Each structure stands twice: as structure tokens, then as C-alpha cells.
């Protein structure tokens, strides 16, 4: 386990606000909240709600559980209990809009949400708050509490943020929340969260850099822009005369913005087609001045200002986005478009002679859902206030451009957390290599305020086997670089290695491939050469599904194959993919993974966007090492560490880690492994040497298992 921490442990005198005369129980309680001393609180963030639930479960087992005041924060998607809102079309944006409609309906209306109290009944939220803080509860518990009290748990839990500070001196206060609610400043402001002088703990922090980049990136297709333009035009025709003048002006500016983005898409598509080499012409051509280092027709990179330069002088994008946000116009347009689409569908059922133009109109309007309209709004926000380290990546869905605002460095967005928090702790079991966290999250932080701690594993060294395999049984080098990994001879040698491991390893064997594509290639080759058939004679064989809904069923069957051995069968083999569902968050403890195999180094696929990010990080440093290549290497090794970390989950667990690629024997690669693994790695130059390392380990463990 590795911890990185930043601290500012200065004490400040808390100030109490003056009291006012109050007229209702709710106003009195609200006033008391404002008067609470701002006691230090812990904000604990992790990637998923299931991980947060595990953390809460562990708190409940400790001796200090009685002193803990815990509140779980979550999105509407996780806490809303109104079925009318939960079933609203349009994803999260549709849910948010339906929630707003139900909350703001008159108290006497049947449309009003029955779980959200009226202004005269707001004390119900305070009662919910008190019950929520009375014991340690996770998100599911809050949902059940809301149903039993007939109170909205989403708004009730928000009431508890302040109140969790008002506890006895010996108590401590914890707010758990998912990454997206912590890392987005807008989300924090919406929830009323202030991090000032509080402690922030971020678990599973190996995800942190990529998550920050993802939270502040967005993507919109040309088809969505066209559908938004069509929906806006129809809306203006329908309601234009009823709207106040300022609304009309703002909507016209929004229309001008959409037209400008569509014109940019048309321009990019034309330039891309012109650059595409034909059969009779050379592929080389002069590049447009607006392009930034394009390297092919499938993906192009632009600076944000070049996307809006055609219309930005006439339109203030910041004002347009603010109008959309304050008026909830994106949600309104999305809901309007969906209603229009349903009307068109009903007309289509009664009139089969609709022409092609009308069908296209219906398709486009339906594409402008509330969620899609919110994506457009997010793009406008990014283009209105672009980061110096932001880029617009244009990819193509067939012939249709897709605009993606991509953040290259998240330090500026993380800085607001660094500035406010009293201390920040980044924790994780597979954070190595850790240099990126200092470079890309806290580059301006003085070394004296940054420290790291790496703990040894709880298992004895005798419970871990870690070995590299540099050569196959015939002496062929195991080189799984992209250029060589699909060679039949290499896949044959890999098949022989896996068959040997199947014979040696009891119970569960998990094999990680660098990508689904390479897994397909190897699996097809092994099927034709009989390798898969020979594996299935010893172990049940399973493959990681691409659909999340199928993962649990696959795991259940994999586990069943391990625990219900029949005849000569010795367990199960699972083909998994680095960076997919099984490489993170799944614990293969005990017999579920007596060996984890890593095939090759899973470098990200090359692309112009990746090259742009590498060039950007190179510009941030004057070090002699190539910062761009180091960035990619660190990404790769974090993925390796996360995958092999699925095994050995408690102090009595044991397993082998087999790293198949000659590059795993290089010192600079091994330096990026967790310390407790690195010190145990045995570098095998030949395959017989590797077997001499592996076979005795499993023979001893089998003997110990038999005797016990």
C-alpha cells in the first residue's frame, strides 16, 4: 500500500455567526447549521460506490465506530427513489430535469414529488439528516431510509454535510463520495461542499490522473450538433412568440453558436477528404494552417481557439453557456425533442407513406436527447474557458466528425483542492510508479510539503513467487511489441508456456492480455493449432466478456470450475484483458488466482492525441530523460501493477506472478513494480530456468495443502 500526502497543518480560530430571530423549526435548524464551528472533516473519495460501501463496512468493524459520524454522498442516479424521475429518458441529464420538474410543481399538484417536502415541511429533511447520522450507513442504507421515512435521500444527505460537523469533541466526521463529485469544482459547489481546512483522502489513487482528465473532457458528434440545431429551430418556431425578449436573444446566440460549430465540422470534413490520398495522387499535400500536427485522416488535433475563431467575435460562449445552465434550457430542449420524436413516431404508425426527409428529421430530433444536449453545453463550457493544456481532437464516425475536448494535464483543476484542503492523502495498493503524481498533480508544491510512504505486504515472502520469462521452450525471445507479437512462432511458444503453467498451477489461473484485439488473435491461432483443446483437457476455460452485464456470470462459472473439479480437471483458466473489467476492482483471492500471468507490456495504442500529450509533457520539463516516453511507460506499468495486484488479497494468501516478455528483465522496468514484488522477482533468461523457479513453489504449496 502506498500513500502520498500533502499537508498544511495550521490552526485557525473558528468564528461563530450572529444569531437571528427564527420563525419555524426549519429556519432555526438552518441558522444553527450556519453557526456550527467548522470542525475538521474527512472527505473520503473512491472510484465506485461499491468501493465506498466496502470502506464504510470496514469502519463499522472498528473499535472507534461509535465515535464516527459518517454521511454518504452520491448522485441522483444512486439516491433518487421517485420512479417517475428514475425512469425519465435521457440518462443523468433527463433524470436531473425530471427531478427539477417534480420538485418545483405546486404542492397541491399530483405531479409534485411526494418525497421532496414543501417549504412548510422542510423539517422532514432535518429528521432524515438526524437519522442518517445516528449510525453508519452506505448509499443503499440511505435509499432504504428515505423510502421508510418517505423523504428524498438525495436532498436529505446534502443536509447532513454541515451537520456532520456538529458532533462531540471526541468524535470524527467523514463524508464519503465518488470521484466525480470531489474532482469537479461545479459539483462541489452544487452540493455545498467546502474543502477549506478539511482532510481529503483519495483511495484507488492510481486512477486519479486519468479521472481528472476524463471529468474535464467532453465529446459531441456532428450528428448531435445537427439534431440540437433542428430541435432549437423547432422550439423557436413553436414558442418564440411566448418567450421574453432576453430569452429570444440568448437562444438566437445559441443558434449562431451551433451553426458555427457545424460550419467547423463541415470544414474539417472537407479538408480531411482533400488530404486523403487517392489512387492516382500522392498522399502528400500542403497542410491547412488551422491544423496542429495532423498525422492521418482518422484523427486530427486542434487548438481550442481555432475551433471557434469563425464566430467567437460575434458570440460570447461563456454567456451562452451560463444562460443554458441558469435557464435549464439544455434539459428543456432535450425533453422537447424527445416529445416531438414520440409524436412523429405515432404519426408514422398511422401514416405509412412518410417520405425520407421526414424520417431523417425524426431521427435527428430523437438524437437530441437531454443527455446529448448536456454534452453540447459541456463542450461550450470547455471552449469558452479553454485550458492552455486543452486540445480539441476530431475523430470520424464514418464520415461524420466528432469533437472531443481533451485535457492534457489536470494539475490546474486539482490545484483548487490543493489550495483549500488542510491535507491530501492519495492511497492505493498499486500506485507505483509515483513520480507522475508529483509532476502532473502538484507541480508547484514545495518538496517539504510532499511525502510518500510505501508499506510492505502483509504476506511472508514464501507466499509469493515472481518470475520473468524472457525466452520460450525453443529459445525464441518473448518479445510482445506490437510489431512482432502476432508472429505465429511467438504465439506457438506462448501456447507451450501456458500449457506448462496449466499443468503446474492448481485451481485458478488468470492470464492478462494487453488488449481484446490481441486476445482474439491468440485465441484464434491457438484454436487452429489445438492449444485451446489441450488446455480444456486440464482446466475449464473462460474469457472476459466485453459486456459488463455478463461479467458476474462468467466469474461465477469460473469459480464453479475451480471448486467442483471432476475427473482430471484441476480448476479453471480465465483469459482477461488489461484495463478492462477484471483488471480492477475484482479480488481473485485464494484459489481464484494461484497464478497471474502478464503477457507483454500493455502500452496504450499510438494516436495523434497520445503524441500531442507526450509532446505537451515534454514541454513541462527540462530533464534529460524523455518525459513523453516516461509518461507512457508509467501508464503502462500502473496497468501492469493493477492487474497483477488482483491476486494475494490477505495475509494467508499465496500466488505466483509470471511476467512473460524479455523487457520485464530490464532494471528500469522492474523499478516501476511495487517494492514488495520487485524484491522477489527472479529473472529467468531461459525457459528451463523459469520452470526450475516455478515448479518447486507449487510443489511445496500442494504438499502443504495436502498435509493440512
Average pLDDT over residues 490-496: 98
Tens digit of pLDDT for each residue in 376-429? 999 999 999 887 889 999 999 888 999 999 999 899 899 999 999 999 999 988
Give the whole-angstrom CA distance, residue 218 versus residue 377.
10
SS3 568: coil
Tens digit of pLDDT for each residue in 203-261? 989 889 999 999 999 999 999 999 999 999 999 999 888 888 889 999 999 999 999 99
Banded pLDDT at 455 (limits 50, 70, 90): confident
Banded pLDDT at 367 (limits 50, 70, 90): low
Give the whole-angstrom CA distance, residue 658 versus residue 468.
6
pLDDT of residue 708: 60
Among 6-10, 57-61, 262-266, 635-639, which stretch is predicted with the lowest mean pLDDT?
6-10
SS3 631: helix
Residue matched to cell numbers 427564527: 22
Give the whole-angstrom CA distance, residue 402 versus residue 67.
52
pLDDT of residue 454: 81
pLDDT of residue 161: 79
pLDDT of residue 286: 38
User: Domains, the chain, ranges and CATH?
Assistant: 2-15+22-216+411-454 (3.40.50), 218-276+287-407 (no CATH), 461-602+646-707 (3.40.50.300)
Three-state SS annotation for 338-384: HHHHHHHHHHHHHCCCCCHHHHHHHHHHHHCCHHHHHHHHHHHHHHH
Strand partners, 300: 394
Tens digit of pLDDT for each residue in 561-588? 999 888 889 999 999 999 998 988 788 9
pLDDT of residue 395: 92
Tens digit of pLDDT for each residue in 478-488? 999 999 999 99
H or E element in which residue 155 lies: helix 153-163
Tens digit of pLDDT for each residue in 162-202? 654 445 546 678 999 999 999 999 889 888 889 998 999 99
The pTM of the full predicted model, rounded to 2 decimals, is: 0.82
Among 344-353, 428-437, 474-483, 512-521, which stretch is predicted with the lowest mean pLDDT?
344-353
Give the whole-angstrom CA distance, residue 165 versus residue 174.
9
| Average confidence score pLDDT of the chain | 85
Higher local confidence (pLDDT), 352 or 435:
435
Give the whole-angstrom CA distance, residue 544 versus residue 557.
12
Residue matched to cell numbers 507483454: 600
Higher local confidence (pLDDT), 599 or 623:
599
Banded pLDDT at 281 (limits 50, 70, 90): very low
Average pLDDT over residues 312-334: 89
How much of the chain is in helix, strand and coil states, percent to nearest 5? 50, 15, 35
Instruction: Count Cα atoms within 13 angstroms, Cβ side, for 51.
Output: 17
Question: Quick check: 195 and 417 in contact, CB under 8 A?
Answer: yes
Average pLDDT over residues 543-547: 94
Give the whole-angstrom CA distance, residue 118 versus residue 107.
6
Strand partners, 70: 174
Cα-trace Rg, the chain: 29
Query: Does the pLDDT value for residue 292 go beyond 50?
Result: no
Question: Quick check: 521 and 607 in contact, CB under 8 A?
Answer: no
Pairing of strands 507-513, 595-599: parallel
Among 63-77, 220-234, 275-289, which stretch is predicted with the lowest mean pLDDT?
275-289
pLDDT of residue 3: 66
Higher local confidence (pLDDT), 681 or 430:
681
Average pLDDT over residues 602-629: 87
Higher local confidence (pLDDT), 320 or 28:
320
Give the whole-angstrom CA distance, residue 376 versus residue 379.
5
% of the chain with per-residue pLDDT over 70: 87
**φ, ψ at 449 (rounded to 5°):** -110, 20
User: Per the structure block, which three cell numbers stand in for 330?
Assistant: 439544455
Question: Quick check: 512 and 583 in contact, CB under 8 A?
Answer: yes
Query: Does the pLDDT value for residue 15 go beyond 60?
Result: no
Amino acid at each position: 500500500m502506498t500513500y502520498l500526502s500533502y499537508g498544511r497543518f495550521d490552526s485557525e480560530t473558528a468564528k461563530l455567526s450572529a444569531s437571528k430571530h427564527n420563525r419555524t423549526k426549519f429556519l432555526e435548524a438552518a441558522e444553527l447549521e450556519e453557526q456550527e464551528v467548522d470542525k475538521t472533516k474527512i472527505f473520503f473519495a473512491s472510484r465506485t460506490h461499491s468501493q465506498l460501501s466496502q470502506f464504510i463496512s470496514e469502519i463499522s468493524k472498528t473499535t472507534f465506530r461509535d465515535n464516527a459520524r459518517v454521511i454518504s454522498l452520491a448522485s441522483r442516479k444512486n439516491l433518487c427513489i421517485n420512479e417517475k424521475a428514475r425512469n425519465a429518458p435521457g440518462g443523468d441529464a433527463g433524470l436531473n430535469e425530471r427531478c427539477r420538474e417534480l420538485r418545483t410543481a405546486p404542492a397541491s399538484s399530483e405531479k409534485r414529488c411526494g418525497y421532496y417536502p414543501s417549504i412548510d415541511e422542510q423539517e422532514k429533511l432535518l429528521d432524515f439528516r438526524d437519522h442518517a447520522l445516528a449510525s453508519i450507513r452506505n448509499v443503499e442504507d440511505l435509499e432504504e431510509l428515505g423510502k421508510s421515512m418517505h423523504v428524498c435521500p438525495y436532498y436529505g444527505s446534502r443536509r447532513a454535510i454541515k451537520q456532520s460537523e456538529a458532533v462531540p469533541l471526541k468524535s470524527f466526521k467523514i463524508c464519503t463520495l465518488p470521484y466525480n463529485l470531489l474532482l469537479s469544482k461545479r459539483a462541489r459547489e452544487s452540493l455545498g461542499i467546502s474543502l477549506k481546512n478539511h482532510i481529503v483522502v483519495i483511495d484507488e489513487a492510481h486512477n486519479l490522473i486519468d479521472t481528472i482528465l476524463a471529468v474535464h473532457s467532453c465529446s459531441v458528434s456532428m450528428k448531435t450538433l445537427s439534431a440540437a440545431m433542428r430541435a432549437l429551430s423547432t422550439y423557436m418556431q413553436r414558442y418564440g412568440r411566448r418567450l421574453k425578449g432576453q430569452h429570444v436573444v440568448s437562444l438566437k446566440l445559441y443558434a449562431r453558436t451551433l451553426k458555427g460549430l457545424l460550419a467547423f465540422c463541415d470544414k474539417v470534413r472537407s479538408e480531411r477528404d482533400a488530404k486523403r490520398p487517392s489512387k492516382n495522387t500522392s498522399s502528400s499535400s500542403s497542410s491547412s494552417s488551422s491544423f496542429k500536427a495532423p498525422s492521418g485522416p482518422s484523427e486530427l488535433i486542434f487548438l481550442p481557439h481555432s475551433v471557434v475563431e469563425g464566430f467567437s467575435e460575434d458570440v460570447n460562449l461563456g454567456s451562452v453557456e451560463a444562460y443554458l445552465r441558469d435557464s435549464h434550457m439544455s434539459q428543456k430542449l432535450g425533453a422537447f425533442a424527445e416529445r416531438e420524436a414520440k409524436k412523429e413516431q405515432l404519426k408514422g404508425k398511422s401514416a405509412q407513406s412518410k417520405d425520407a426527409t421526414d424520417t431523417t428529421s425524426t431521427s435527428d430530433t430523437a438524437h437530441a436527447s437531454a443527455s446529448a444536449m448536456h454534452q453540447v453545453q459541456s463542450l461550450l463550457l470547455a471552449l469558452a474557458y479553454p485550458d492552455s493544456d486543452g486540445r480539441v481532437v476530431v475523430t470520424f464516425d464514418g464520415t461524420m466528425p466528432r469533437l472531443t475536448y481533451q485535457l492534457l494535464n489536470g494539475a490546474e483543476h486539482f490545484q483548487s483542492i490543493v489550495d483549500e484542503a488542510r491535507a491530501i492523502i492519495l492511497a492505493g495498493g498499486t500506485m507505483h510508479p509515483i513520480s507522475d503524481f508529483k509532476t502532473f498533480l502538484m507541480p508547484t508544491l514545495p518538496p517539504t510539503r510532499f511525502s510518500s510512504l510505501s508499506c510492505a505486504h502483509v504476506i511472508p515472502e514464501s507466499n509469493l513467487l515472481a518470475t520473468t520469462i524472457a525466452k520460450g521452450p525453443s529459445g525464441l525471445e518473448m518479445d510482445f511489441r506490437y510489431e512482432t507479437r502476432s508472429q505465429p512462432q511467438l504465439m506457438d511458444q506462448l501456447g507451450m508456456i501456458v500449457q506448462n503453467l496449466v499443468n503446474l498451477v492448481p485451481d485458478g489461473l488468470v492470464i492478462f492480455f494487453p488488449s481484446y484485439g490481441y486476445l482474439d488473435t491468440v485465441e484464434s491461432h491457438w484454436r487452429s493449432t489445438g492449444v485451446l483443446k489441450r488446455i480444456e483437457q486440464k482446466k475449464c476455460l473462460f474469457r472476459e466478456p466485453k459486456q459488463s452485464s455478463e461479467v458476474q456470470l462468467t466469474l461465477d462459472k469460473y469459480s464453479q470450475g475451480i471448486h467442483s473439479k471432476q475427473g482430471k480437471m484441476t480448476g479453471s483458466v480465465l483469459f482477461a484483458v488489461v484495463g478492462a473489467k477484471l483488471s480492477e476492482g475484482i479480488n481473485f483471492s485464494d484459489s481464484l488466482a494461484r497464478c497471474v500471468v502478464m503477457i507483454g507490456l500493455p502500452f496504450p495504442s499510438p494516436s495523434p492525441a497520445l503524441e500531442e500529450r507526450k509532446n505537451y509533457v515534454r514541454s513541462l520539463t527540462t530533464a534529460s530523460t524523455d518525459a513523453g516516453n516516461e509518461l507512457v511507460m508509467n501508464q503502462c506499468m500502473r496497468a501492469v501493477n493493477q492487474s497483477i495486484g488482483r491476486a494475494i488479497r490477505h495475509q494467508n494468501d499465496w500466488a505466483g506472478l509470471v511476467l512473460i516478455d524479455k523487457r520485464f528483465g530490464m532494471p528500469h522496468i522492474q523499478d516501476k513494480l511495487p517494492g514488495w514484488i520487485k524484491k522477489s522477482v527472479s529473472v529467468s533468461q531461459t525457459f528451463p530456468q523459469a520452470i526450475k523457479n516455478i515448479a518447486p513453489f507449487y510443489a511445496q504449496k500442494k504438499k502443504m495443502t495436502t498435509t493440512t
